[in-house]
């Protein structure tokens, strides 16, 4: 009897392994990350600290499966990076802060592999808005001065990913790399600069870990 119950439970689990990807289900979760780096140089036997850069992001997301294996959703989050230039002689430590707010739609298509894995392609359009604060040292007046500028970004992009389901309603995923286009605008004291870039980046800086519930 016990063996029969175990067999039935295993059969049901195998039949519902990917029920989370069915039409009508929700996708709720997000991605979070933080990294820090400070390159050092050696000059005449003396180690000189470089600029310390700290990056972070928090991106909650919600989606809805409008068809089997295909979901549409919305990313809403924030992030940014800070840079600290160490003091050098008469120059004090200087800080640059570059936070942003992000919002944008996305679409995903999943392809199942085995009982617990799936790969997916994600197409998204990101809108980012921020206000940067940058410090500089004025040696004539012997003071630190701060400048501010407003930034906005428009960035359609495509990212591949893989998801592992340790439980039927929990997915642990990795977004790997990024292919996209970015249009950025920076405003400062009545001036405006525009830049356009095409991204094709698959280095480790573009790997993001996320956890999602499939309900």
Number of domains in the chain: 1
> Which range of residues forms the domain containing residue 112?
2-214
**Model pLDDT, residue 94:** 84
Quick one: which of 111, 105, 215, 106 has its CA closest to 162?
111
Q: Where are the alpha helices (DSSP H) in 62-130?
A: none
Question: How many Å apart are CA 151 and CA 195, to the nearest integer?
Answer: 11
User: Which pLDDT tens digit goes with each residue over 107-116?
Assistant: 999 999 888 9
HSE, CB side, 13 Å, CA atoms: give it for residue 181: 3
**Cβ neighbours of residue 17 closer than 8 Å, sequence gap 6 or more:** 115, 116, 165, 168
> Among 42-56, 58-72, 139-153, which is the least confidently predicted range?
42-56
User: Which pLDDT tens digit goes with each residue over 129-145?
Assistant: 999 888 888 888 888 88
pLDDT at 4 over 50: no
Question: How many Å apart are CA 185 and CA 121, to the nearest integer?
Answer: 28
DSSP letter for 88, please.
B
Question: How many Å apart are CA 164 and CA 59, to the nearest integer?
Answer: 19
pLDDT at 2 over 80: no
CATH code of 127's domain: 2.40.160.20
19: buried, middle or exposed (CB in 10 Å: 19+, 13-18, 0-12)? exposed
Q: Which two tokens stand for residue 194?
A: 């525009």
- At residue 191, the 3 state secondary structure works out as strand
Q: Which two tokens stand for residue 154?
A: 């428009």
């Amino acid at each position: 009897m016990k063996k029969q119950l175990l067999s039935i439970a295993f059969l049901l689990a195998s039949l519902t392994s990917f029920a989370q990807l069915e039409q009508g289900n929700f996708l709720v979760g997000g991605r979070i990350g933080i990294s820090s780096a400070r390159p050092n140089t050696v000059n005449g036997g003396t180690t000189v600290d470089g600029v310390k850069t700290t990056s972070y992001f928090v991106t909650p997301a919600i989606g809805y499966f409008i068809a089997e294996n295909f979901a549409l959703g919305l990313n809403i989050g924030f992030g940014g990076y800070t840079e600290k230039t160490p003091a050098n002689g008469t120059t004090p430590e200087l800080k640059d802060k570059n936070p942003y707010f992000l919002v944008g739609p996305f679409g995903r298509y999943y392809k199942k592999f085995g009982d617990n894995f799936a790969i997916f392609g994600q197409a998204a359009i990101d809108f980012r808005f921020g206000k940067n604060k940058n410090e500089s040292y004025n040696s004539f007046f012997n003071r630190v001065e701060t400048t501010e500028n407003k930034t906005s970004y428009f960035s359609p992009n495509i990212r591949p990913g893989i998801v592992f389901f340790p439980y039927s309603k929990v997915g642990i995923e990795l977004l790997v790399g990024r292919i996209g286009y970015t249009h950025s605008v920076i405003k400062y004291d009545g001036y405006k600069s525009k830049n356009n870039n095409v991204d094709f980046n698959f280095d480790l800086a573009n790997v993001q870990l996320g956890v999602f519930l499939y309900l």
